[in-house]
Structure 1
Amino acid sequence: MSNLLTGGDLRARDHHRIEDDAREEGPLHPVTLPNGVRMQVVTVGLELTRQLLADQRLSKDSAKLQREIKRQLAERGSAQENLAGLFGPSMLNSDNPQHARLRALAVKAFNGKAVQQLAPRIEEISAELIGGLPENEEIDLVKELTVPVPMHVIGEVLGLPAQDRAHVRRLIETMMSMEPEVSQPASDELGGYFHGLLSGNGLDPRSLFGVLATAADDDGDRLSHDELMAMAFLLVVAGHETSAGLIANVVHDALDNGLWHEVAEDPGLVPRLVEETLRHNPPVRSATHRIATEPVEIAGTTVAENTLLLINLGSAGRCPRAHEKAGEYRLDRATTGHATFGHGPHFCLGSALARLETETVLRQLTSRFPRTVHAGEGKPEVTHSDIMASLKSLPVVLRR
């Protein structure tokens, strides 16, 4: 079942079939990453997925993850990778009590009120980009809109100088490419950029990240330089790549299911459309890496201590035990339960921001161009990394 990760040249929704077939075959599937690291992909129903995401025996600790990955690389005779970027000691890669400490500090910058303060700026960014799109000709909406919007937003969140944002975007794309010979140098360069930003005076203190850099708890505890570095990596990956993927998937799903004009007529449908895409066609295929700290039984099969795990999220959202006709995309569901933003202590702190960006773009785009249609032939290609499942391109013709 190695195609749970690579999948060859996948097209839109091909990975649904792969993931759903895997769920029906069994709970665990051994895979090997391009760098040779071995792990298990978990494909189970929604209820068990939520239990596993909250299971403290499945550790997110940065040191444990790095130790096992480096052990496997050394076993293969591979060069030791610098894993401090994607596997640095951020909230994403920590267990309690450290996770609770980091999250409590981050909440000060990313609470609902702080995110809502970004809403007018997100409206402006979306309106400016959408206003510049050409009508009645084929364009790639990924390139022209769904990537630039969250890049501008994460630039605002991080307080990045405007002239640096395109370069940072290229580094993020390269780092997430699953090609070790280029992804590691990009990660190192991005780390150097963030180090310079935090060490100098380039960070906007009014940005959410600027607030985070100075936030302190009641005892005066604040994030260290290394913790801020790890948080910056977390924000660019979780706060940019996933939002870009979600916006593209929602636009594609609205068009592909004949719902575009309906949403244009009734903007109140936008949040329901976003939730159905999160359930049925999430941009994140699997939750990020976990490691078993002891033998753990998963749906009748035991994984050994130190096993690396990826918990698949798409197959959980499309679980037939959780939803009637789970494989269909529908807006009339009584519930749209999913685990796309995680569950338990690691529930995504940026979920409100991702929803806000996506709903803003979809509302403006359907309102301005209510007769938009797909362009090109066949289904568009999707990424096929271990984590992401977003569109590489989305050819459309925008029509008023």
Structure 2
Amino acid sequence: MSVLFTPELLRNPYPMYDQMRIGQPVFYMEAMKFWSVFRYEDVRTVLSDQARFSSGHGNGSNSESASDKPAQANSGFSIITTDPPKHTMLRSLVSRAFTPKAVAALEPRIKQIANELLDPFIPSGQIDLIRDFSYPLPVIVIAELLGIPSEDRDRFKHWSDEVVASANAIVGEANPESQKALMEMHAYFREIIAKRRIHPQDDLISALLLAEEEQQQLSEHDILAFCSLLLVAGNETTTNLIGNAVLTLLEHPIELEKLLKDPLLLPSAIEEVLRYRSPVQAMFRTAKEEIQIGGQTIPAGSRVVAWIGSANRDEQKFKNANTFDITRDPNPHIAFGHGIHFCLGAPLARLEARVALRVILDRLPNLQRANQEMLHPASGFIVHGVESLPLRFQH
């Protein structure tokens, strides 16, 4: 693996980001054949300027070797790899499941799931936050939204981990398990879709099958892609948001004490976690034309990585950017992206994090790390979190 993606760097990429923003804010990574953009304004431009940066994988000679393998693994996620007008149609249809009213209606059930997940661990005073709580919570929520059995969540975990890790193909870590996982996941969802065509249920897959806008129904490929995206993105990002929030609060006891004294700070604290330890560190784009940015010329067809994790620590945008401050205001982070591809699931992720943290803080008093062993970073350089977080608390 490239020295840029060692476990040490994945655990704490922020000093490297600081150096890159100062010295090489737009940088061509020869080994991976892609350009990296590190400053806030440039990252926001790459993410939002769809006229010059495509969300597709591109077919230029400069992008070919960089994108082949990851594209195979992620080719199903059509809503994030298409440009208008198709993206506009897809987003309009699937966004109906994520209206403020629809998301708010999920809060009682999310709270119930969160409490049920904690119940078995209260007597022991110990829990692995990732394995026992922050992983299963969003998976159960997504499974129920889609109308599929939550008992299949171990399969979901394997599939989503492999698909997220498939991005490592870019840095020379191709893994046939990633493609196999994607094929298994698609076969699983095809079976569910076939059943819903015959016997619709009160779930998201049935709603998507019935959805129609301007006589344009979603194709099975589109539905399959959305199910895959929702499972992977809805699982990994929310798992890491909750885990990162608890880890960061434990590392900053003064901020944790502020939050315990004033629970109304919880939404602001979540926004600061999103900025300070962004669950998604990077997004890919393809240059549609030759582009001047940050004093560099990016050739047409080039793959470009917008480093969200770096942008959210940019001192030019955030005062004391490397300080964790749960009262930060304003906080214009771009943890959920920017522009037409702003994360559809952001309201759900925020709700799950708010409910989860409220339950954790209420039910796990005097929370602390169970040991001081080195934490292992989550798989893949695109997501940012830890694989395991053993905790202890009073009971």
The question of whether the paired residues in 1 share the 8 Å contact of 2:249 and 2:256 is answered with: yes
The question of whether the paired residues in 2 share the 8 Å contact of 1:294 and 1:306 is answered with: yes
The question of whether the paired residues in 2 share the 8 Å contact of 1:106 and 1:212 is answered with: yes
Are 1:220 and 2:215 counterparts?
yes
Q: Deviations over 1:41-83 (max 9, x none)?
A: 2111x23322221112110125x36x76994289xxxxx7594
| Aligned 1:146-295 pairs, distance under 5 A | 146-178=134-166, 179-201=174-196, 205-217=201-213, 219-258=214-253, 259-287=255-283, 289-295=284-290
Q: 1:311 aligns with which of 303, 306, 315?
A: 306
| Secondary structure at 1:93 match in 2 | coil
Are 1:392 and 2:387 counterparts?
yes
Alpha carbons of structure 1 residues 82 and 298: separation in structure 2 relative to 1, 3 Å: closer
Pairwise CA distance, 1:282: 0.7
Q: Give the structure-1-normalised TM-score.
A: 0.89
Alpha carbons of structure 1 residues 318 and 263: separation in structure 2 relative to 1, 3 Å: same
- Partners of 1:71 and 1:335 in 2: CA distance: 40
The question of whether the paired residues in 2 share the 8 Å contact of 1:261 and 1:366 is answered with: no
| Secondary structure at 1:327 match in 2 | coil
Partner of 2:170: none
The question of whether the paired residues in 2 share the 8 Å contact of 1:60 and 1:93 is answered with: yes
The question of whether the paired residues in 2 share the 8 Å contact of 1:135 and 1:399 is answered with: no
Partner of 2:377: 382
- Unpaired segments of 5 or more residues in structure 2? 167-173
For structure 1, which segment, 358-367 or 174-183, has the greater mean C-alpha deviation from structure 2 after superposition? 174-183
Pairwise CA distance, 1:353: 0.3
- Partners of 1:143 and 1:69 in 2: CA distance: 40
Partner of 1:72: 65
Pairwise CA distance, 1:392: 1.2
Amino acid corresponding to residue 72 of structure 1 in structure 2: S
- Partners of 2:288 and 2:86 in 1: CA distance: 17
| Secondary structure at 1:252 match in 2 | helix
- Counting matched residue pairs gives 385
The question of whether the paired residues in 2 share the 8 Å contact of 1:61 and 1:89 is answered with: no
Structure number with higher helix proportion: 2
Alpha carbons of structure 1 residues 86 and 347: separation in structure 2 relative to 1, 3 Å: same
The question of whether the paired residues in 1 share the 8 Å contact of 2:289 and 2:299 is answered with: yes
| Secondary structure at 2:236 match in 1 | helix
- Partners of 1:69 and 1:228 in 2: CA distance: 31
Q: Deviations over 1:102-151 (max 9, x none)?
A: 11111222211111121111111111112222456443211111101111
Partner of 1:348: 343
| Secondary structure at 1:49 match in 2 | helix
Alpha carbons of structure 1 residues 135 and 274: separation in structure 2 relative to 1, 3 Å: farther
- Partners of 2:310 and 2:82 in 1: CA distance: 25
| Aligned 1:322-337 pairs, distance under 5 A | 322-337=317-332
Q: Identity percentage over the alignment?
A: 31
Alpha carbons of structure 1 residues 55 and 189: separation in structure 2 relative to 1, 3 Å: same
- Partners of 1:11 and 1:221 in 2: CA distance: 42
The question of whether the paired residues in 2 share the 8 Å contact of 1:3 and 1:18 is answered with: no
Q: Give the structure-2-normalised TM-score.
A: 0.90
- Partners of 1:161 and 1:40 in 2: CA distance: 41
Are 1:52 and 2:46 counterparts?
yes
Partner of 2:7: 8
- Unpaired segments of 5 or more residues in structure 1? 75-79
Pairwise CA distance, 1:198: 1.0
Amino acid corresponding to residue 16 of structure 2 in structure 1: I
Partner of 2:171: none
For structure 1, which segment, 259-268 or 222-231, has the greater mean C-alpha deviation from structure 2 after superposition? 259-268
Q: Deviations over 1:87-110 (max 9, x none)?
A: 236210110111111111112222
Alpha carbons of structure 1 residues 201 and 331: separation in structure 2 relative to 1, 3 Å: closer
Pairwise CA distance, 1:37: 5.4
- Partners of 2:368 and 2:393 in 1: CA distance: 7
- Partners of 2:251 and 2:123 in 1: CA distance: 20
Q: 1:94 aligns with which of 82, 95, 106?
A: 82
Pairwise CA distance, 1:221: 2.2
- Partners of 1:307 and 1:317 in 2: CA distance: 24
- Partners of 1:326 and 1:368 in 2: CA distance: 31
- Partners of 2:220 and 2:207 in 1: CA distance: 14
RMSD: 2.5
